[in-house]
Structure 1
Amino acid sequence: MTGQSAAGAPHDPEAWWVFRGPSDLPAPPPWRRFPAGAGTAAARAPYLLERNEISVVNAALHLHRPLLVTGRPGAGKSSLAHAVAEELGLGDVLRWSVNSRSTLQDALYRYDAVGRLREASLRREREASHGSVRRPRAPRATAAGDIGQYLRLGPLGSALAAGRPRVLLVDELDKADIDLPNDLLVVLEEGEFEIPELARLPEHQQEVPVLLSGSRERVAIHRGVVRCTQFPVVVMTSNGERDFPPAFLRRCVRLDLPEPTGDRLRKIIEHNLGASAVAAAEDLIEVFHQRAQTQTLATDQLLAAVHLRISGADLTKDELLGAVLHRLDEPMAP
């Protein structure tokens, strides 16, 4: 399929084209592969850390303190949480993506009160339509089993309730409301929180099974209190858009991911795309370094450019390189 330009002139398809070119979709780059049945996102190449950075991660693990990872966008902050989970065999990462509207309860639990009321109303209507007489139910058959269907623990709540170490990723905490970091700190320091909807239940309904985040697994909540028995591995990321209170920083282990050097960029390219890609990327690495002096760029933008290069794309044509290595600190033109 050749297609036509806006002026009506025919396009000669290039070898690497899919749209307006061959019909078969190409294989995705390694970081955009989604293995069937996997709970995590794309398959990840081995994560690169320097020796001193590995020591900082181990310090956080020994101290059972949150790890606060700072660095520019695309530096690999979020990927570190997945690397720790894979290395230690701790299962899928529990992820809480923070924005300006996020609240602590979002991360602790969700209660669908409207859904529960609707179901109760439908149940009464069914009973009335069948002319049934409501008979008293056994105490265990009332609210304890019922309310648990409308509760689900959030990422933080699940990390505390799991009964085994889990990795919790609190992504882009610097985008949060000003009070959220300290609110989060209180829960992490105490290692527990209360679910008022369960705490109000009568004595004979002390235990309620509740779903964990992103899972069909349930845990029993006793008297409405979620209490940590195994402190989670907490990785919090920040792009440096704001400062955090001293009390918060004092309780974290801090890791700052520096600007990648040329050698580190070559290692990243080799890990993700193979040794042969490095030789094809030398000029792109140079362009990336030059632009990064005055613009905000992410390492994964360089990986994308290299992937296009080895796929056959001519990055000197039609401003294609600019579309990939576009600056992240500039608003889009209207």
Structure 2
Amino acid sequence: MPESGWPVYRGTGQPHSGIGALPPPPPWRVFDGEVITPPVDRTLAGARPGVAERATVYRPGQDVVEMVNAALYLRRPLLVTGKPGTGKSTLAFSVAHELKLGPVLYWPVGSHSRLVDGLYRYDAIGRLQEVGLHGGDHDPDIGRFVRLGPLGTALVPGELPRVLLVDELDKSDIDLPNDLLNVFEEGQFDIPELSRLPDDRSEVRVMTEDFGRPATIRRGRVRCRAFPLVVITSNGEREFPPALLRRCLRVDIQPPDTDKLAAIVAGHLGDEALAETRDLVARFVERRDQGDLATDQLLNAVYLAIAGARPDLATRERLVDRLLQPLDGPG
């Protein structure tokens, strides 16, 4: 790797320790959270099925690689736009896999998502129920009833950054993008239920999004040390406020060309599968020029064409025709 440490993320799908070459943050993006919780497993162990394979095969364009590195260097969120199926979400898993940053913290955003949903959840009813079961004399450990959300877990102080995927922010309520600004800028948040505890209970162990792995919080405040790589995806269904755009780096992922599609097919299903189905790749590109198609649709068509119980030619053609229907057209 060059002495400058650039690029830290290369987009090759091969894990390495290049994150150690990341220079210190800019003076205005320095965070000083105290590291209390032990480091996480730095693999994608426990990730959703198929994620590790997609992260290994994924090959981003040079412009995407450059903007990921810029976001890592500047400790800024990365806003990723592009058509459905272009690999916006997979980019987050690719970075986590290659730089060995542990499981991606995944926050799928919907119309009812609130900032607190990403930060933490407090089960007050569950705690009251446990008190009631013991006749009101029992004071259960409050940490058992607090669970950090994906954003909250990403801000738990550690020596290495986590990767947080905020998926489809454009589907959110109009207030959420603005609500995120302060957390992204400050790199911290408070949990009032914990900050109100007496001094002799200032340190609390709570659950996290890391498959229940606990984290220790002092005086109800979570303050990061290594700012996470935040990958925010958008399908372009709405505009974001200028204040959010000013704090993010932006990159638009273009649909893969014929050569990249061929590499994707070969990476997932092998060179032999690609050799047998190059006509499907060509047909996919031709249809994509006439309407929106996602790469997953091509992979599904190729798999059916080469599966063990192969359909006859007429059936194959009918299936391919149905599988390659434009996403923006009638079903």
8 Å CA contact retained: 1:309, 1:315: no
8 Å CA contact retained: 1:162, 1:219: no
Deviation at 1:91, TM superposition (A): 0.8
Q: Deviations over 1:208-255 (max 9, x none)?
A: 111111333222211111111111111111111111111111111111
- Residue aligning to 1:259: 255
For the pair 1:179 / 2:175, whether they are aligned, the reply is: yes
Higher Rg of the two aligned structures: 1
Deviation at 1:314, TM superposition (A): 4.2
Change (3 A) 1:229 1:281: same
2:315 counterpart (275, 296, 317): 317
Q: Say which SS state the counterpart of residue 272 (structure 1) adopts.
A: helix
* 1:61-80 correspondence runs (5 A): 61-80=72-91
- Residue aligning to 1:124: 135
Cα separation, 1, equivalents of 2:162 and 2:110: 23
For the pair 1:147 / 2:142, whether they are aligned, the reply is: yes
8 Å CA contact retained: 1:194, 1:224: yes
Query: Which TM-score applies when normalising by structure 1?
Result: 0.79
1:40 counterpart (43, 47, 54): 47
Deviation at 1:331, TM superposition (A): 6.4
Q: Say which SS state the counterpart of residue 283 (structure 1) adopts.
A: helix
Matched positions, count = 280
Q: Deviations over 1:58-114 (max 9, x none)?
A: 111111111111111111111111110111111111100111111111110011111
8 Å CA contact retained: 1:315, 1:321: no
8 Å CA contact retained: 2:57, 2:264: no
Q: Which moved more, 1:261-270 or 1:296-305?
A: 261-270
Cα separation, 2, equivalents of 1:314 and 1:104: 52
Q: Which moved more, 1:97-106 or 1:288-297?
A: 288-297
Q: Deviations over 1:189-217 (max 9, x none)?
A: 11111111112222322111111113332
Change (3 A) 1:315 1:86: farther
- Residue aligning to 2:190: 194
- Residue aligning to 1:56: 67
Deviation at 1:287, TM superposition (A): 2.2
2:153 aligned partner, one-letter code = S
- Residue aligning to 1:167: 163
Q: Say which SS state the counterpart of residue 297 (structure 1) adopts.
A: coil
Q: Which moved more, 1:319-328 or 1:152-161?
A: 319-328
Query: Which TM-score applies when normalising by structure 2?
Result: 0.79
8 Å CA contact retained: 1:175, 1:241: yes
Q: Say which SS state the counterpart of residue 163 (structure 1) adopts.
A: coil
Deviation at 1:185, TM superposition (A): 2.0
Q: Deviations over 1:266-303 (max 9, x none)?
A: 12112222222222222212221232223221011101
Q: Which moved more, 1:41-50 or 1:65-74?
A: 41-50
1:297 counterpart (273, 293, 299): 293
1:196 aligned partner, one-letter code = P
Percentage of identical aligned residues: 54
**Structure 2: gaps of 5 or more residues:** 1-43
